[in-house]
A = this chain, B = another copy of it.
Amino acid sequence: MSPDLPSLYRLGIVGAGQIARMTHQAAVKLGITPRLFAERIDDSAALAAPGAVFNHPDALAAFAADCEVLTFEHERIDIGLLQAIEDNGRLLRPGTKTIRAAFDKMHQRRVLKNRNYNVPAFAEIRGPDDLLDFVADHGYPVVLKTVRAAPPGQRGVFIVDNRSEAMRVLAEFGELDLMAEQYQAIMKELVVLVVRRPGGLSRCYPLTETINHDGFCTEIHTPADIGHRLATEARQLAIDLANDLDAVGVLAVELFLTIDGLVVNELAARPHNAGHFTIEGCPTSQFENHVRAVLDLPLGPTWAIHPAAVTVNVLGDLDGVDPAQHLPEALAVEGAQIHLYGKYPKPRRKLGHVTAFADDVKQAAQVARRAEAALHGRRPF
């Protein structure tokens, strides 16, 4: 870091996965080289950025002391520790008010309910009795989830259809804090990305729709195939929420579209997997705008350059073959934007993504899926 840079550009990113990797790249474009708080030497961002700090979470306070502004790429951080760092005068962006709502899903539900956002019925589950009480009111199926984020690649959400399934999940995950939610008949899953500066200026990205299989997000379609009225409502909801939580940086608002309208599913207070299309698809990527926002710099335009975008996540194959081995075949798919994260291949691990742009979502999906298939060594279809 140049000693001449204003001290507000001494940015630290807690976490060094692919979100940090892409955020780091966006910062480098602006002449800013964030420091990274990594967990492992082969973390995605640590492979591509200099001077990552590898430390036990307890060392976070020491890392923070070297930074003026601290931002976050994951939710696996002790909130009390962050509160202490904030109390010590570091700028946490987002601050602990937002972090608490993003990291602790029970707290999130309470905050949203208190502010009259539409959320499913929910309850804390400290044991079988709490769950049976909840089911007595709301019936099966019921959604069980961990209050804190599950480690990457691990499931944190379970839909159980009967008592024996419920008890199995409780037995297996009972050591973690769990909560129950009323099952929603979901027509679509949407994500609104809003980016907000301290003080309140904010911008919204085009509304996206996520396609999920077995609890994993496999594709992201932009624009979401919903009407203008719902899209406007979703955007307004996300902006209101960002203001209510005093969010800074990207706030990703995951929504369910149900027969009763929009229901808030979850919040993430960081650049989001659903926003990777913004790298090539918008004048300012979610990563660059996140950096701008957390450094209190003017935000850039967030409109879509192309009519439609589809991102396909590249998940690790069961045979453990590295998609990088198939880079030649994938790059041969004209117009596909291939992103690989440099991560060690494991089954279902998020190893990269492919984005394609076209005049409509169907065309874009064809190109992106063809490149993703190529990365897995499958013949194009």
Contact = CB atoms under 8 A, between A and B. Distances in A.
Interface of A: 1-2, 4-6, 9, 21, 25, 28-33, 42, 46-52, 280, 283, 292, 297-298, 300-301, 305, 322-325, 327-328, 331-332, 334-335, 337-342, 344-345, 352
A28 B25 contact: yes
A47 B29 CA distance: 12
Contact of A298 (B1, B49, B301, B331): B331
The 7 closest A-B pairs by CB, nearest first: A31-B340, A298-B332, A298-B331, A50-B50, A28-B48, A4-B322, A31-B342
Given A49-B50, A335-B283, A30 B301 contact: no
Contacts of A322: 2, 4-5
A334 B300 CA distance: 6
B47 A33 contact: yes
Given A30-B327, A344-B2, A49 B48 contact: yes
Nearest to A292: B331
A280 B26 CA distance: 13
A297 B31 contact: no
B324 A5 contact: yes
Given A28-B342, A30-B338, A32-B340, 17 more contacts: A2-B324, A2-B342, A4-B324, A4-B344, A5-B324, A29-B338, A29-B340, A30-B339, A31-B340, A32-B324, A32-B342, A33-B48, A47-B50, A48-B49, A283-B335, A300-B335, A305-B305
A51 B32 CA distance: 18
Contacts of A31: 323-324, 327, 339-342, 352
A46 to B, nearest CB: 8
A30 B340 contact: yes
B33 A328 contact: no
A33 B324 CA distance: 12
Task: Please state the number of chain copies in the assembly.
Answer: 2
Contacts of A292: 331
Contacts of A33: 47-48, 342
Contact of A51 (B50, B342, B352): B50
A6 B25 CA distance: 24
A294 to B, nearest CB: 13
A30 B354 CA distance: 10
A344 B327 CA distance: 37
Nearest to A357: B283
A301 B50 contact: no
